[in-house]
């Protein structure tokens, strides 16, 4: 670890964790060890680490809530970043139409929903994010959402950290499950603009959505949500079912019996079990229908 001496001269020891097991930081609970996990205590530390990565031509590797990430069995070489939960630095600025909520990127999405629901705020418009696990930074990077809406339609500005410093950006372009975050940038804070509206209707929407999730998704088993994005005009789950892979198991990973586009960890699965299942689903669907399935889940680290 040639970078370690330099790192120790830049940030405090409490921000550095060596040989950190990473499976616990992902919702599917698989994957190896990070050589060096860094949890910056503030933006100054973060910018210093980004500078070090830049000078040493090391890749930026970042995990948010790990709800859409699979980490390789061989672990993560170099530096992996994970932001802290910063709900103590949030702000809600009310105006005549609604409010601007500013919130740290390492904060869980659930905090945004809680702020929206608070009676004195009386805000609406982000109901579709209820039930999506992960952090605010991950929701922006992934443009998380459902058929009822997408995260970035509610975002007015995003604060980005690079090796040059920190700054707010507006008008970032986005598409289905993707936001164009400039290379080597980390989302550090996000401003959401939400209107004031009918709280009872908003709560009802969220309850309905959560009940639908419970009945259709394998939420009691470790998973990372949808494995593949839906091809235009198609459903990835239906295509996987069509090629008889619903419930198919490799090692301790399974294409869920409840929803074929979800992989569950039955206990002690390896990342390789998961990626082998993904490869199998992709090749069977391609051979049978000609349709290419594209993973929604992000890979981090080294895979066998
Ligand atoms: C039960 C379940 C249900 C789900 N339902 C949905 C759903 O309905 N809709 C949906 O869209 N998704 C869904 N997901 C997937 C997941 O919740 C979302 O993609 C979520 O936005 C991921 O956030 P995260 O913080 O966990 O991101 P991670 O998985 O940690 O990271 C995802 C990507 O974002 C990048 N990233 C994370 N933080 C930052 C940052 N601060 N700056 C720059 N890049 C960053 C990572 O490098 C990675 O490329 C579901 C997942 C589960 C487990």
Q: Which of 121, 108, 82 is nearest to 202 (CA)?
A: 121
Strands, E assignment, 74-150: 76-81, 91-94, 98-104, 145-146, 149-150
Residues noted as catalytic: 177, 226, 296
Residue 1's pLDDT is 74
Distance of alpha carbon 131 from its chain centroid, rounded?
A: 13
According to the model, what pLDDT value does residue 120 have? 79
**pTM of the predicted protein model:** 0.97
| Three-state secondary structure call for residue 135 | strand
| Average pLDDT value for residue range 92-103 | 95
Distance from CA of residue 124 to its chain's centroid? 23
pLDDT at 82 over 80: yes
Query: How confident is the model at residue 175, as a pLDDT?
Result: 96
**pLDDT at position 87 over 90:** no
What are the start-end ranges of the E strands in 210-265? 223-226, 249-250, 253-255, 262-265
pLDDT score for 61: 98
Ligand 1 centroid to residue 89 C-alpha, Å: 22
Please give the residue that has the higher pLDDT: either 285 or 1: 285
Would the pLDDT of 80 be above 90? yes
pLDDT digits (tens, 9 = 90+) for 231-286: 999 999 999 999 999 999 999 999 999 999 999 999 999 999 999 999 999 999 99
Strand 249-250: give its sheet, edge to edge. Answer: 223-226, 262-265, 253-255, 249-250
Q: Does the CB atom of residue 31 touch ligand 1 within 6 A?
A: no
What average pLDDT does the chain have? 96
- Does the C-beta of 141 come closer than 6 Å to ligand 1? yes
On the 0-12 / 13-18 / 19+ scale of CB atoms within 10 A, 64 is buried
Task: Please give the distance, rounded to the nearest whole angstrom, from the Cα atom of residue 181 to the centre of ligand 1.
Answer: 14
**Quick check: CB of 132 below 6 Å from ligand 1?**
yes
Q: Of 63-67, 85-89, 136-140, which gets the smallest average pLDDT?
A: 85-89
Residue 119 has pLDDT above 90, yes or no: no
Look-up of token digits 């975002």: 155
Query: In this structure, which residue's CA is closest to atom 9 in ligand 1?
Result: 145
């Amino acid at each position: 670890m040639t970078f370690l001496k330099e790192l120790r001269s830049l940030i405090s020891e409490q921000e550095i964790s060596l040989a950190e097991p990473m499976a616990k930081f992902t919702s599917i609970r698989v994957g190896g060890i990070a050589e060096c996990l860094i949890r910056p205590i503030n933006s100054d530390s973060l910018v210093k680490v980004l500078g070090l990565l830049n000078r040493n031509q090391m890749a930026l590797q970042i995990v948010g809530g790990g709800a859409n990430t699979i980490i390789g069995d061989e672990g993560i070489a170099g530096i992996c970043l994970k932001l802290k939960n910063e709900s103590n630095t949030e702000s809600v600025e009310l105006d005549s139409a609604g409010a601007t909520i500013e919130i740290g990127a390492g904060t869980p999405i659930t905090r945004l929903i809680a702020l929206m629901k608070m009676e004195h705020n009386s805000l609406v418009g982000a109901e579709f994010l209820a039930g999506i696990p992960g952090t605010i930074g991950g929701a922006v990077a992934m443009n998380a959402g459902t058929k009822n809406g997408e995260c970035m339609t509610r975002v007015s500005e995003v604060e980005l950290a690079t090796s040059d410093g920190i700054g707010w950006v507006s008008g970032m372009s986005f598409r289905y499950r993707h936001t164009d975050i400039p290379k080597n940038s980390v989302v550090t804070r996000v401003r959401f603009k939400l209107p004031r509206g009918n709280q009872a209707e908003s709560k009802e929407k969220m309850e309905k959505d959560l009940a639908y999730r419970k009945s259709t998704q394998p939420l009691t088993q470790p998973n990372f949500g949808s494995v593949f994005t839906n091809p235009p005009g198609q459903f990835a789950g239906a295509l996987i079912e069509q090629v008889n892979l619903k419930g198919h198991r490799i090692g301790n990973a399974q294409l869920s019996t409840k929803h074929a586009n979800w992989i569950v960890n039955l206990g002690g699965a390896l990342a390789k079990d998961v990626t082998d299942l993904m490869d199998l689903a992709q090749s069977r669907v391609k051979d049978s229908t000609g349709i290419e399935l594209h993973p929604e889940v992000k890979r981090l680290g080294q895979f066998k």
